[in-house]
Structure formats: structure tokens, C-alpha cells
């Protein structure tokens, strides 16, 4: 399956609020590639950075490269798209429809509609995004890794025989590969610490 190259896909850690009980079958009839194209266009238009799509899967459903396995099935169709933007940090949860693909398209169409409000002069300073501002997270990776240096040092420690310095993005990906639950009997302990270190680097805009 095609995924946007500048998007990180992760499991949902906590759904905001209650899940929708009576989901709808959407009337979308477009291919997944069309949804990816629309979403990519809207992300570029809003100046999206640090883009993370969360789906209702577990770590074992992800390949070593960080994307979901082809046969992985989500626990529910809800998705959460979070990103930095010209309007500040934004987060769109959606579980209106019966498939996660349709919920992603619903988010992309919502982004398009919000952007057009500014395009046609209804708003001028991004006020339409106020309801989608991301809430501050309770606690953070900084609890374990107080500095970028500490996060980098930990990531290096997870890679056996590492003798040279790697760029932060390569270091993070390599640490993910070595820490993947598939290599540790589905134990997520090391993986979770790598992801916590990655959050520190991502907050410092050293990785995407």
C-alpha cells in the first residue's frame, strides 16, 4: 500500500474522548491513491511538519521500516492525524466511517474545506483551525530523556558495534530497526524507549 513518504505512521496510544458507536458507510468512491494525493496536497498547503498518522494497530502489526504490514487489521477504523502547521500544532481524530481509509479521506476533505474558508476571505488569520489545536500532552519523553544529547546517546547504545556518528534521522531509523518487537519476542520495552527518545529529537526538529 502506498503511504506518503513524509508521514510517520504509529499506533494510537489513547483515543481522545469516546469512540463513535454508530459509524457510517461513506459515499466515497475514490481510490486510495486519490486520497493520498489529496492529503499530500492539503498538508503542503498548510505547511505541515512533523506529520504523524495514528491507526488502531499494535507494534507487531508494523514492519521494520515503520509502516503497517499489508495484512494488518486495525482494532477499529478510527485514525488521528497530528502535525505542526502555520496555524500551530493541529490534531484531527476521525472515526465517523466504517473504514480507516475513509476516515483519512474525511480528514483530508475537512482540511480542504477549512483552507478554502481562508482562500475566499471568510477568515484571514487561521481562526478556522482553533477547534483543531492539539492539546498539550500529559507528561512527555523529556521525563526520561531530558536533553537531545541524552536521547542521542541512548539511541546509539541500542545499535551494536556502532563506531561512527550517524545523522539523527538515520540513527533513529537504525535504532528502530534494532529495537523492533519482532526481534525481541514481541517485547515492546526497548521499542518504547526508542520512540520516547525519538519524540525528543522530533520536538527539536532533528528528525521527522
Range of lowest pLDDT (35-39, 54-58, 129-133, 152-156): 129-133
**pLDDT at residue 144, rounded to an integer:** 61
State pLDDT tens for residues 13-71: 888 888 898 999 999 988 999 999 999 999 998 888 888 899 999 888 988 888 888 88
pLDDT surpassing 90 at residue 99? yes
CB burial of residue 14 (10 Å; 0-12, 13-18, 19+): exposed
CB burial of residue 128 (10 Å; 0-12, 13-18, 19+): middle
**pLDDT at residue 65, rounded to an integer:** 80
**pLDDT at residue 116, rounded to an integer:** 80
pLDDT surpassing 80 at residue 190? yes
Whether the CB-CB separation of 175 and 136 falls below 8 Å is answered with: no
pLDDT surpassing 90 at residue 79? yes
**pLDDT at residue 133, rounded to an integer:** 54
Note the pTM of the prediction, 2 decimals. Answer: 0.62
Residue 112 and residue 90: Cα distance in Å, rounded? Answer: 14
Amino acid at each position: 500500500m502506498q503511504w506518503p513518504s513524509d508521514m510517520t505512521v504509529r499506533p494510537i496510544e489513547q483515543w481522545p474522548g469516546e469512540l463513535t458507536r454508530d459509524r457510517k458507510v461513506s459515499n466515497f468512491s475514490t481510490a486510495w491513491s486519490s486520497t493520498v494525493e489529496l492529503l499530500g496536497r492539503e498538508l503542503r498547503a498548510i505547511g505541515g511538519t512533523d506529520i504523524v498518522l495514528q491507526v488502531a494497530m499494535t507494534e507487531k502489526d508494523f514492519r521494520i521500516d515503520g509502516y503497517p504490514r499489508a495484512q494488518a487489521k486495525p482494532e477499529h477504523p478510527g485514525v488521528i492525524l497530528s502535525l505542526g502547521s502555520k496555524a500551530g500544532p493541529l490534531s484531527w481524530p476521525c472515526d465517523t466511517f466504517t473504514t480507516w481509509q475513509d476516515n483519512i479521506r474525511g480528514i483530508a476533505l475537512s482540511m480542504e474545506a477549512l483552507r478554502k474558508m481562508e482562500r475566499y476571505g471568510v477568515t484571514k488569520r487561521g481562526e478556522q483551525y482553533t477547534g483543531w489545536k492539539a492539546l498539550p500532552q500529559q507528561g512527555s519523553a523529556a521525563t526520561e530523556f531530558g536533553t537531545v544529547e541524552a536521547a542521542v546517546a541512548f539511541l546509539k547504545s541500542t545499535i551494536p558495534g556502532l563506531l561512527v556518528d550517524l545523522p539523527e534521522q538515520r540513527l533513529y531509523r537504525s535504532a528502530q530497526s534494532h529495537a523492533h518487537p519482532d526481534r525481541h519476542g514481541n517485547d515492546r520495552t526497548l521499542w518504547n524507549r526508542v520512540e520516547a527518545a525519538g519524540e525528543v529529537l522530533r520536538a527539536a526538529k532533528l528528525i521527522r
